[in-house]
Amino acid sequence: MASTTITPTRMVLNQLKGRLKTARRGHKLLKDKRDELMRQFMDIIKRNKELRTKVEEGLTGAYSSLQVASSIMSPEMLEQSLMYPRQSVELGMTYKNIMSVNVPIYSFRTKNDDPSEIYPYGFAQTSGELDDALEKLAVVFNDMLELAQVEKTMQLLAEEIEKTRRRVNALEYVMIPELETNIKYISMKLEENENATKVRLLKVKEMVLQDAHHYKQ
């Protein structure tokens, strides 16, 4: 239904046609953006599933080795062995733009590159299973960091997909139909006015002819 506040003039008609053209172009761009976001979202879901499986397997293996180590070593010795870590990690974060969405890129850097620094103890009084547990945790740390990055990316993309979907629906089901209805309404009103003007002109012509020549059509 056309808005009752619209003035049916040719200027307003041209303005509405311009807005309709812009709305249709914006609708197409937003649909393309939504489709590309969905494609990338599905790729990230696949990667998330792979990483989650890998991380769970790595943590399960590390936990199993740690359980064996705790059954061999006394609780006091185990706690003392892990009390003072020798390696430290610095976490960094940058951003990557995916379809106007800034998603985080996590990275980490250790204090030094010596692999043996992950063991904060001597090897004389500890079990080999504890070494295995720490080694497995060190390996799975990269995957855990990527998993956190992927899950945050999924969250941000899901929010953007929802916002884009709402904009597409607002254009497709509200704004564009309303503009089309208003354009049709104004076009009909202008056509009615033109027909009424033609009728008035014919009557004026008839009256002028009658007055000038006493002529009647």
- The CATH number for 106's domain is 1.10.287.3240
Cβ atoms of 125 and 57 closer than 8 Å: no
Between 77 and 134, where is the model more confident?
A: 134
Inside any domain, residue 55:
yes
169: confidence class by pLDDT, cuts 50, 70, 90 = very high
Is 166 within a domain?
no
In a domain, 32, yes or no: yes
Average pLDDT of the segment spanning 65-72: 81
Whether 120 maps to a domain, the answer reads yes
Is position 142 within any domain?
A: yes
Please indicate, yes or no, if residue 187 is contained in any of the structural domains: no
The predicted-structure confidence for 34-53, as pLDDT tens digits, reads as follows: 999 999 999 999 999 999 99
Q: Give me the number of domains the chain comprises.
A: 1
More confident residue, 211 or 8: 8
Which tops the pLDDT comparison, 5 or 87?
A: 5
Confidence of residue 86 (pLDDT cuts 50, 70, 90): low
Cα atoms in the 13 Å half-sphere on the side-chain side of 136:
19
Among 1-5, 15-19, 129-133, top mean pLDDT goes to 15-19
Structural domain including 67 reads 22-160
Looking at residue 185, what is its pLDDT? 92
The answer as to whether 168 is a domain residue is: no
User: How does pLDDT run across 6-44, given as a tens digit for each residue?
Assistant: 888 889 999 999 999 999 999 999 999 999 999 999 999
Is 9 inside any structural domain?
no
The two structure tokens encoding residue 66: 């740690």
Q: Which amino acid is at 211?
A: D
* CA proximity to 173, closest of 27, 3, 4: 27
CA distance 195 to 203: 13
